[in-house]
Structure 1
Amino acid sequence: MNTTISSNGLPQLPLPTTSTDSSASSQTASTSSSNAAASPPDDSVKLTDSARALQQASSTDSPVDTARVEQIKNSLAAGTYQVNPNAIADRLVSIENQIGNK
């Protein structure tokens, strides 16, 4: 599995400048190519359990009802979304009772 990492809007760091001396640059090029041939880079990523859980939660198989989300977005944009404060209060009390009973 490959994951692309972007700069997220952060500025890119400048690349190191190279010497204008042709003998030094050719020596550097031959050294780096021989090092690359001798030992290939060992790039690997190990995900923690938390990262795996976050990845699974953000996958397309998540239990989010995208149709309901779009419906709520549209009603918010139109100014027609109705908030039921009694339902919110009932759920908060229910959560509080669950936490208090543990």
Structure 2
Amino acid sequence: MNTTIPNNGLPKFTQATGSSGSGPSTTAANPSDAAATAPKADDQVKLTDSALALQEAARTGDTSVIDSQRVERLRQALADGSYKIDAGRIADRMLALEQQLGGTGKA
């Protein structure tokens, strides 16, 4: 099966593959042109807190610690009907999440 993915109107970028002669030249004829395309020493990348959290969560060696005793207590409380739901706490956390996502917050 062949699948074609169109570029969706995005510009096509050619990739320099060395000195094949068919692509754009990787050496500049004018030294000032090379300076204009070279990365600057003061270029910086700053990740947002959300990006850092996603990066941390995506680490393959990171294993979450699961409190199996707490899981069992919750499972038992759900089974015997003694687990109480705190609707106010759930609502507060939903509002906090809404604010983090850029919502309007409390109405």
Query: Which structure has more helix as a fraction of its residues?
Result: 1
Question: In which range does the TM-score fall when normalised by the shorter chain?
Answer: 0.3 to 0.5
Name the TM-score, length of structure 2 as normaliser: 0.37
